[in-house]
Amino acid sequence: DTAVSQTPKYLVTQMGNDKSIKCEQNLGHDTMYWYKQDSKKFLKIMFSYNNKELIINETVPNRFSPKSPDKAHLNLHINSLELGDSAVYFCASSQGGLGVEQYFGPGTRLTVT
């Protein structure tokens, strides 16, 4: 069983479109995250949810909106896609608290043309 899954794995779309990436974890964790990894492999946290409540909201354009329908899911919706949004987006989960391991999904490679 995949612990943290993301769909789709690849996403190619045109500028101005709206797209969503879905994330699900079956680990029973209470905290989920979205990260953006750029072409230089730099990882930047975007959002974090704990029990469906937003706890980290870094400086991210408001075109990005996370949605957590339940503890096991954290989806990322992106409006009006721009070329600079091209990146690999990783979802992760952890069992809250301090000093706990994060489990990462396989990533979604988004290419905006």
The residues of the shown chain that bind other proteins, judged by CB under 8 A, are: 4, 31, 33, 40-45, 48, 50, 55-56, 90, 92, 98-102, 104-107
Taking the least distance from each CB to other proteins, the nearer of 14 and 101 is 101
Least distance (Å) between residue 18 CB and other proteins: 25
Taking the least distance from each CB to other proteins, the nearer of 70 and 101 is 101
Least distance (Å) between residue 23 CB and other proteins: 11
Least distance (Å) between residue 15 CB and other proteins: 25
Q: What does the radius of gyration of the chain's CA atoms come to, in whole angstroms?
A: 13
Distances (CA, A) of 45 to 21, 33, 58, 65: 16, 7, 7, 14
100: number of CA atoms within 13 Å, CB side? Answer: 14
- Partners of 92 in the β-ladder: 33, 104
Taking the least distance from each CB to other proteins, the nearer of 14 and 40 is 40
**Lookup: tokens for 8:** 């789709």
Least distance (Å) between residue 2 CB and other proteins: 10
Report the candidate in 86, 88, 82 with the shortest Cα–Cα distance to residue 108. 88
Taking the least distance from each CB to other proteins, the nearer of 4 and 112 is 4
